Amino acid sequence: MGKGMKQMQQRLKLVDCVIEVHDARIPLSGRNPNFQYSVSSLKPHILVLNKKDLSDPKYNSEIEKRLEQDKVSHVLYTNCKDQGCKGVRQLIPLATKLISSSQRYNRSEEKDYCMMVIGVPNVGKSSLINTLRNRHLHKSNAAHVGAVAGITRSVQNRIKVNEDPLIYLMDTPGVLTPNVPDVESGMRLALCACLQDHLVGEQTIADYLLYLMNKEQNFKYVEHLGVEQPSDHITSVLAQAAFKMRKTQKVRNLEGGYVIKPDLTLAASHFIKLFRTGVFGPTMLDKDRLF
């Protein structure tokens, strides 16, 4: 990940605007503080809070007030699955306005605009590029997209996303702060798939999710997982869910025979997937940091 930051710094002189993409469910957690000081502070900067369809919009005004304290004044909310969403429509015009009113330094003679997309893993950087490309040029995907954190490995060639004015984007690998400041931030990142599941553990992530849902008195998991009643015991919840899904595994016992046990890891992955796809409803994981 550090290599990606160095590559971005080297190419900064070729860029007119920095677009930082982050997950709208965690607008504060996990944002790399180095962005402001080593990349975005030198160029016009737009923060795109993606996956707005999974985030609770009633906190948007508080998010913007909190971000203003960090000198982030241009915030857009997007759903890259919807090319017609307001944030996607506003991005190119806003970027054009910011670039045209800025001092472009060594790029002042260039007629085209070039923008850099940055952000932590798996927040939709490549999806945003492809959405813009499809919307403005009606062309197929140019940047590889995947659901695994860090799938875009190296700074790619420029990708044209607009004809008039001529605008190019560079896709970059996600850059995550090596030291997550606290456990809570790490768990929120993991729950939103900004960290690969195996680094934290599916059952640990599921336990954190269960804690959050019970805290919010959101008991939709009872129906969707097929458990008897709300519970704060993750092993019991996952075991019931696994049996409901008929997902079991044979485990050898001390006598040399086999016993049938619920596949807790598979059940945990299913539970997490339900959250990530919005089955339990929109959420805001960072609301305690907004006030």
Residues placed in the known binding site for GTP = 50-53, 122-127, 174
User: Concatenated DSSP letters for 158-224?
Assistant: -EEEETTTTEEEE-------SS-SSHHHHHHHHHTTSS-HHHH-HHHHHHHHHHHHHHTT--HHHHH
d(CA 181, CA 30): 9
Taking alpha carbons only, the member of 128, 147, 263 closest to residue 197 is: 147
d(CA 268, CA 239): 9
Taking alpha carbons only, the member of 142, 150, 100 closest to residue 120 is: 150
Would you tell me how many other CB atoms lie within 10 Å of the CB of residue 74? 19
